[in-house]
Structure 1
Amino acid sequence: MSFLNISKKRFLVCGLGNRRSVAWAVGQTLEEAGAEVIYTIRNDKRAGELKKLLKERPFLLCDVEYEDDIATLGERVREEYGELDGFVHSIAFANFSEGLVPFHETKRKDFLQATQISAFSLVELSRSLKPVLKPDASVVAIGISSSVTAANYGYMSPIKNALEGCVRFLAKSFSKDSEIRFNSVNAGPLRTKSSAGIPGYLDNYLYAEQLTYRKRALTTQEVADTVVYLLSPRSSGINAQGIVVNAGMDWNYFDESVVEKASRPELSRGNSDA
């Protein structure tokens, strides 16, 4: 038996979007450990785009923007696959089609849409899937490191904070009649396809890399490894927590090399007038 003890267990990974996504890395890691993985995909169009990637892997369509899609998901899982040992919420959306605006100029419809998709959908999915979750199942949501409050992340920072709040309240709510655990993995900046759509994200990503103790950016696989551990029985004592995975960047604001470049900008430009 492997350390994780998840062989033959069944997990639902919600929000597969592409090969570079956290959802795909989590699914692959689970499969490598011998687990059965079912994916949810937003719609038929996305499923067609992922056909070569998925091959014969099982999946269900579920667009969390539509209440009916979520409401029927639990029953569809039961009919086609049976009970679950846990599920992963790797879903986020923000409308940046009009470019980045100051936070106080965020439109109501954009904020509410992003909140429903990125945060409240965890509550809705948990409610729908509760009948098919085993009494000791584990649920993991993908959040962001508390240090990610950059202006160009826009209104997604407070929405991801709302997601983490939902995790804690779900843990309390489900504890009334089960030992189902809820946790989030709060990742530092990652190079994913979805992050590429955030205005100015690359500059912040490169800056965050310099703030890590190791001077090497966080990888999607490192986030996935933490998610899989939280899904496993080995993490049974962890509940209602936000596990930060960012290679130490939130404790390294005053890194000597970064401070030097900021206080002597000519160094970063390679300028030498002396």
Structure 2
Amino acid sequence: MSFLDLTGKTFLITGVANRKSVAWHIAKILEGEGAKVVYSVRSEERRESTAKLLDGRPVYVCDVEDEAQINALAEAAGPEHGPFHGLVHSIAFANFSAGPQPFHGTRREDFLQATTISCFSLVELARAFKPYLDPAASVVAIGISSQVTAENYGYLSPIKAALDSATRFLAKSFSADTEVRFNTVNPGPLKTSASAGIPGYLENYLFAEKLTLRKKAVTTQEVANTAAFLLSPCSSGINGQSLVVNAGMDMNYFDREVIDAAMRPKV
């Protein structure tokens, strides 16, 4: 038996966009361990663009901005594939079309839309799938590793903080009648297609890499490995937690190399 003990178990994965997606890396581990993976993508266009990648696998369309679609997803996938032993929430969206803006300039409609998609959709997915979850299922959401005031990440930072908090409250409320666990994996900057859409992301990625203790950025595979562990029975004692995966980035602000570069006189 494999250490992760995932053979024969069933999982729902949301958020696969392409081969670079964190969700896809997680799914590949689960499938490699003998698990069945059911996929949810945001639109028919996304289902078409991932058709080759997800060929032969069950794929549903669900725009999590619409609660009715979340309920329809559960009603369709639950009876057909359940019980689910785990669920992965790897979804985030913010309207950065206007470029970086001061936080106080955030528009209400943008903040509420991003909150619905990036945070509250986890609550709605958990509620909708509750009847179809194994009593000891594991739910994992993908967050961010540090609630820093990155100007280019803007209002999505406090929304990701809300995701962390919502995860803990879900862990508490589900504990009333189940052993379903809720945790987040909070990575440092990654090379994903979604990240590429954030203004100024490349510079932040390279800076974050300099802050890691090993001077090498965290990989998507390393994040997926952590998520797979949390989805497995091996992590049964972990609940309501935010696991940071950033190679020490958030404890290394006073790295000598970074200080020297910052203090070097401009020519």
Q: Which TM class, normalised by the smaller chain length?
A: over 0.9
CA contact (8 A) 1:147 1:250 kept: no
Q: Partners of 1:5 and 1:108 in 2: how far apart? A: 45
Task: Give 1:74's aligned residue.
Answer: 74
CA contact (8 A) 1:22 1:220 kept: yes
| TM-score normalised over the length of structure 1 | 0.95
CA contact (8 A) 2:82 2:133 kept: no
Offset of residue 54 of structure 1? 1.0
1:185-224 paired onto structure 2 within 5 Å: 185-224=185-224
Residue 151 of structure 2 is aligned to residue 151 of structure 1: yes
Q: Partners of 1:239 and 1:79 in 2: how far apart? A: 27
Offset of residue 82 of structure 1? 2.2
1:224-243 paired onto structure 2 within 5 Å: 224-243=224-243
Q: Partners of 1:200 and 1:59 in 2: how far apart? A: 33
Q: Partners of 2:51 and 2:8 in 1: how far apart? A: 24
Q: Partners of 2:40 and 2:157 in 1: how far apart? A: 24
Q: Partners of 1:238 and 1:208 in 2: how far apart? A: 27
Offset of residue 148 of structure 1? 4.1
1:20-99 paired onto structure 2 within 5 Å: 20-99=20-99
Matched letter for residue 120 of structure 1: F
Structure 1 gap ranges (5+): none
Offset of residue 79 of structure 1? 2.9
Matched letter for residue 183 of structure 1: N
Task: Give 1:120's aligned residue.
Answer: 120
Q: Partners of 1:47 and 1:37 in 2: how far apart? A: 15
Matched letter for residue 106 of structure 1: T
Matched letter for residue 188 of structure 2: G
Q: CA RMSD in A?
A: 1.0
Q: Partners of 1:218 and 1:22 in 2: how far apart? A: 12
Q: Name the SS for the 2:52 alignment partner.
A: helix
Matched letter for residue 154 of structure 1: G
Residue 259 of structure 2 is aligned to residue 263 of structure 1: no
Task: Give 1:102's aligned residue.
Answer: 102
Q: Partners of 1:19 and 1:34 in 2: how far apart? A: 20
How many equivalent residue pairs?
267
Structure 2 gap ranges (5+): none
Task: Give 2:165's aligned residue.
Answer: 165
CA contact (8 A) 1:143 1:164 kept: yes
Task: Give 1:142's aligned residue.
Answer: 142
Offset of residue 73 of structure 1? 1.8
Q: Which moves more between the two structures, 78-87 or 236-245? A: 78-87
Offset of residue 147 of structure 1? 4.8
| TM-score normalised over the length of structure 2 | 0.98
Q: Partners of 2:95 and 2:159 in 1: how far apart? A: 13
Q: Partners of 1:148 and 1:206 in 2: how far apart? A: 16
Offset of residue 80 of structure 1? 2.1
CA contact (8 A) 1:148 1:188 kept: no
Q: Name the SS for the 1:45 alignment partner.
A: helix
Task: Give 1:178's aligned residue.
Answer: 178
Larger Rg: 1
Matched letter for residue 167 of structure 2: V
Percent of paired sites with the same residue: 62
Q: Partners of 2:79 and 2:147 in 1: how far apart? A: 42
CA contact (8 A) 1:144 1:160 kept: yes
1:235-254 paired onto structure 2 within 5 Å: 235-254=235-254
Q: Name the SS for the 1:27 alignment partner.
A: helix
Offset of residue 60 of structure 1? 1.0
- Which 4+ runs in 1 deviate beyond 2 A? none
Matched letter for residue 173 of structure 2: S
Q: Name the SS for the 1:152 alignment partner.
A: coil
Offset of residue 265 of structure 1? 4.5
